[in-house]
Structure 1
């Protein structure tokens, strides 16, 4: 009788890959989780209950066929597991590392709901594709036949790269334009190495280059090349710029030296990890070493900032958030990791200004309480009068989220319709914009969101582009 490989959740406990000790991992930017060994990956994959209605799959934006590749892993069929995983997800090794599984697949796992502890889906997804790279199973794209049509993609983040991958597999000629000197977008310069080591991203970009995707880097659309030139050169265009404009803070002394944007801070740190010359870091402006650091915000970007500051040798690191722990938008797993590494969270606090004499000296803080629910159903924070205090700081990092740049103005394209939030208006199904042959994906349509949603958008848009190139009429956004 064949050994029962699945439904082991009753006898086998949930285990994550070993996590490096906090005092050790806080000294470097390497990933904090070690790799599963094959036997452990098989064992943990075998905990899957193979339920008839897989909520893990339905709560994944890409609808990854999770139960089947878990079964293949449990049976030692890793190459098949990789091929199945890759069929629905362009970058499973990246999603396995940075997706908030606790809010998506793992958070909706049936055995998690029954109290047995979720299947460690993300760690197994990462293991499968890392093994595929190690064994040479990840091949360069080789289309069955080449097509003459070309597509220009503006933005080399996850949405643009996912579209590029799908279009090249169909034989389309693809050129990706990006303002930075390396492709990858926020995966390269926004997300720290302790969550996503940079060679993982670079390996995937090399695979795209080897498959015939052309990258035009250090290319700022609207300055180095016009949008009309790109539109005229290609048969279709995909806009995947992301959102990079930081939300700002007002109040007294808001412009003081030492108050910086999260994107600038994280980009400087990531550039140093590549060995780049970064004057703003070397001068100390974007280096937390020896400083009292205060990060304002409660999302995943704030978590990236506080954990980066710890690794840079900050004297102290505090995170101010206007709601409580239960109501913060960031991953609870990330909050726990940050606390282990020495970050102090100061809940129910908000800045009202800054103390400064040239350089910032502290944050003027209002204490809050949670009142009646707002329009989203979350309890709205209210100021507690007379409870203000000063939080001393030498470096303040604003991690308040991102907004879209004014692309029609920057690019001189008045006919590109945007929403009242400044995001590009695109059809929900086809991703077509108000301009013929122009599609838009990812954060520039959704607002700041997850990498996995950008990948889904890019893959869907590629299908619409192929229909458009074949003569089908795409539904334009109104």
Structure 2
């Protein structure tokens, strides 16, 4: 081991410079500036090069983190990029949006020892951004072309990761997506201050250069049924994600200006990309000058509150029925939101939405009545259950309420014209995880549509696993074997 490593005992943890909250409140630029090369090398050198690297164990794609940290510390950035990209199709995206505090950095050994974690995500971003600047990132070039074709339904992270892996093996890949741009939630769901859209667009452009075909504005079930796609291709991967917003049952929920989180975020992102969005232009999905209340405590809720701040909201509150320690969203995101002026109303839930009084529009939202909560006995999952406190009602003014309560799968058998497709009791696609296969011959699935709304990095992992499973299936079919015989 070189003397360049193990510097955590003499060198403190540092992140790239963070733009001031007052400055970043007024734009959608990413909040962290770039590491300088010497800063990235110094921070990488803090790695203790563990014999059992828990950072790698807790990374869904099992990145070889200690290896590329060592290479970065030694200034061998091209090799660091090659090592990083060997296990992750989009390291610059994960470096920006992964909740490292819950995954690699949260399980860093020196963090547990009290020295402060290695800033893994920021270094990963630096390595890959440098690789793009230097021209080291190249489209995949298969050694030979294969005649079999694969149709991928969904151009989100699972579908894109699978497309690259399958194209690497020489398969003919077509990606179908209902939207007009590839990227899924990477483009339309995640705000630009966390993930600038050019970062996603250059990846999809690289896939086009590699020979992947994109068929956009194409909805399975409308433009072609799943059965028709099965006849076009040798295998199908369903990677369409989950987009059905969970709703809330409360009096007044039908009032105007109570909107699902994804509608709100999509309108904001489309507007930032230069699209004309009537609901945004009319002000219906624009928070400017409004009292905004976001209901929920996950990462989507954090995206909404921070977007509302940047749109010029009069006030922004996040209403969550549990406390800070029990919220599912990233604690880093909560801290960023607080710096930017978001007020968190912990241990509270909406009881009713109020509107109409004194307004020309009797259906216009004016506020919501909320109720205080205490956390009761833990259930089978280990989480304490929220219980309303009688007589604890209070009022919050609200001109716009955003429901960030999570997402469920759509009814795919109905939507895709595939009545034989089996689902779980949660509505997700039922999967043989060993083969990443559905009950339909030659149809596979990956990402949120099988595991529920989850992290981008898990979608990447599923996409890679599905690509490997599809290759095994096609090779077995070509050899005249059954799928199980190829295991």
Q: TM-score when scaled to structure 2?
A: 0.97
Deviation by residue 1:376-399 (Cα, 9 ceiling, x = unmatched): 111111100001111110000000
Q: 1:176-195 residue pairs with structure 2 within 5 A?
A: 176-195=175-194
Q: 1:131-150 residue pairs with structure 2 within 5 A?
A: 131-150=130-149
Deviation by residue 1:430-462 (Cα, 9 ceiling, x = unmatched): 210000100000000000000000000000010
Q: 1:250-399 residue pairs with structure 2 within 5 A?
A: 250-357=249-356, 358-399=363-404
Q: 1:102-181 residue pairs with structure 2 within 5 A?
A: 102-181=101-180
Distance 1:378 1:136 in 2: 48
Distance 1:410 1:275 in 2: 30
Is this contact kept in 1: 2:292–2:308, CA < 8 A?
yes
Is this contact kept in 2: 1:432–1:475, CA < 8 A?
no
Distance 1:18 1:203 in 2: 25
Give the deviation of 1:429 after TM superposition. Answer: 2.1
Give the deviation of 1:474 after TM superposition. Answer: 3.5
> 2:359: which partner in 1?
none
Q: Does 1:44 align with 2:53?
A: no
Is this contact kept in 2: 1:260–1:397, CA < 8 A?
yes
Cα distance change of structure 1 residues 475 and 262 upon mapping to structure 2, 3 Å threshold: farther
> 2:247: which partner in 1?
248
Deviation by residue 1:4-56 (Cα, 9 ceiling, x = unmatched): 11000000000011100000011000100011110000000000000100000
RMSD of Structure 2 on Structure 1 (CA): 1.1
Is this contact kept in 2: 1:300–1:330, CA < 8 A?
yes
Give 3-state SS (helix, strand or coil) of 1:88's partner.
coil
> 1:474: which partner in 2?
483
Is this contact kept in 2: 1:155–1:178, CA < 8 A?
yes
Which deviates the most, 110-119 or 466-475?
466-475
Distance 2:484 2:366 in 1: 54
Which deviates the most, 410-419 or 144-153?
410-419
Is this contact kept in 2: 1:432–1:474, CA < 8 A?
no
Is this contact kept in 1: 2:156–2:241, CA < 8 A?
yes
Give the deviation of 1:3 after TM superposition. Answer: 6.8
Distance 1:406 1:436 in 2: 20
> 1:198: which partner in 2?
197
Give the deviation of 1:424 after TM superposition. Answer: 0.1
Is this contact kept in 1: 2:436–2:446, CA < 8 A?
yes
> 1:454: which partner in 2?
459
Is this contact kept in 2: 1:30–1:193, CA < 8 A?
yes
Distance 2:293 2:136 in 1: 45
Q: 1:94-105 residue pairs with structure 2 within 5 A?
A: 94-105=93-104
Q: Does 1:402 align with 2:407?
A: yes
Runs of 4+ in 1 over 3 A off after TM superposition: 472-476
Give 3-state SS (helix, strand or coil) of 1:466's partner.
helix
Distance 2:455 2:433 in 1: 17
Is this contact kept in 1: 2:177–2:218, CA < 8 A?
yes
Is this contact kept in 2: 1:464–1:474, CA < 8 A?
no
Distance 1:251 1:167 in 2: 47
Distance 2:249 2:386 in 1: 18
Give 3-state SS (helix, strand or coil) of 2:263's partner.
helix
Deviation by residue 1:295-340 (Cα, 9 ceiling, x = unmatched): 0000000000000000000000000000000000000000000000
Unaligned runs of 5+ in 2: 357-362
Distance 1:81 1:436 in 2: 40
Give the deviation of 1:475 after TM superposition. Answer: 5.3
Cα distance change of structure 1 residues 34 and 238 upon mapping to structure 2, 3 Å threshold: same
Give 3-state SS (helix, strand or coil) of 1:350's partner.
strand
Give 3-state SS (helix, strand or coil) of 2:380's partner.
coil
